[in-house]
Structure 1
């Protein structure tokens, strides 16, 4: 029997799975880039059950990637203006990267943004995160660089990347 990757809309019942993936992926994604203290701070800030619930209530659309009833990854997107959307989160469990789950999640986000009148999809990616290359392969380009103070003496040192929803297939 052939397994099929499923991308579905997340619900509040998926918050524990979203948290688990974040906690599983961040050490390998950011361990060589950020201090453990900053990783812990950011996970608590962005991935507490309350923070995720609030994001969902404020209109962030989350998607879950599943294969054989196993959650492989998730993405979160929101509308940031009349025609601008922002991909806030896209993480795939490290042991299942390169399975197509990340690309499938991104395609679902692009479809969501297009279906809701989006012209641009933006994201922030740490300047030292290997995911930058993934996004470039998917048609994103660097728009700007930012260094954002996120509190507790920590900063996000990111590229802002953009995808033109009107000119891409």
Structure 2
């Protein structure tokens, strides 16, 4: 099930980010830059600001049924577990930007990322979007996933950050019309 996140979901968004970034970027950027970027983009203050500026976050939840034996009766209790999240924003001129899409490593290759991306595409179209763009590190293996979903590389960009860090990214996009 995919649902729109609220401010109450910030801790789970942070947990997924902190669990996915080292795996995703550990061989690409330094540990120091990973910590810096996590703080920059995933601090509570930053996430509150993103949500208040119109970034919509979607959460993919899985129902895990747990059986607990209580003497004679076995009760099945369903627990919600968030497998991943995506964030999208309206950039104007009918362009929407996928800002974030992260899936827990254990949920890779399960369709979670594809479902989140399709939800973002649908959301963009329903809100007047004609194009979806995203930035992705040039060495990120997710490029193959995005290409398999119809996105193509539009440009290359280097962004300078504080502390001498850089983001060496592709901008990818897909027409939604």
Normalising TM by the smaller chain, what interval? over 0.9
What's 1:59 paired with?
54
- State how 1:13-92 maps to structure 2 within 5 Å: 13-68=8-63, 69-92=80-103
**Whole-Å Cα distance in 1 between the matches of residues 93 and 7 of structure 2?**
26
Deviation at 1:82, TM superposition (A): 2.6
> How far is 1:39 from its partner?
0.2
TM-score (normalizing by structure 2): 0.90
Q: CA deviation at 1:150?
A: 1.5
Q: Deviations over 1:94-145 (max 9, x none)?
A: 0111111100000000001000110110000000000000000000000000
For residues 25-72 of structure 1, the C-alpha deviation after alignment (integer angstroms, 9 at most, x for no partner) is: 000000000000000000000000010000000000000001011100
Q: Does 1:134 align with 2:145?
A: yes
Query: What residue ranges of structure 2 are gaps of 5+ in the alignment?
Result: 64-79
Give the alignment of 1:91-106 within 5 angstroms.
91-106=102-117
The Cα RMSD (Å) is 0.5
Point out the structure with the larger strand share: 2
The runs of 5 or more residues in structure 1 that have no matched partner are 1-5
Aligned residues: 161
Q: Larger Cα Rg: Structure 1 or Structure 2?
A: 2
* Normalised TM-score (structure 1): 0.94
Query: What residue is the counterpart of 1:113 in the other structure?
Result: 124
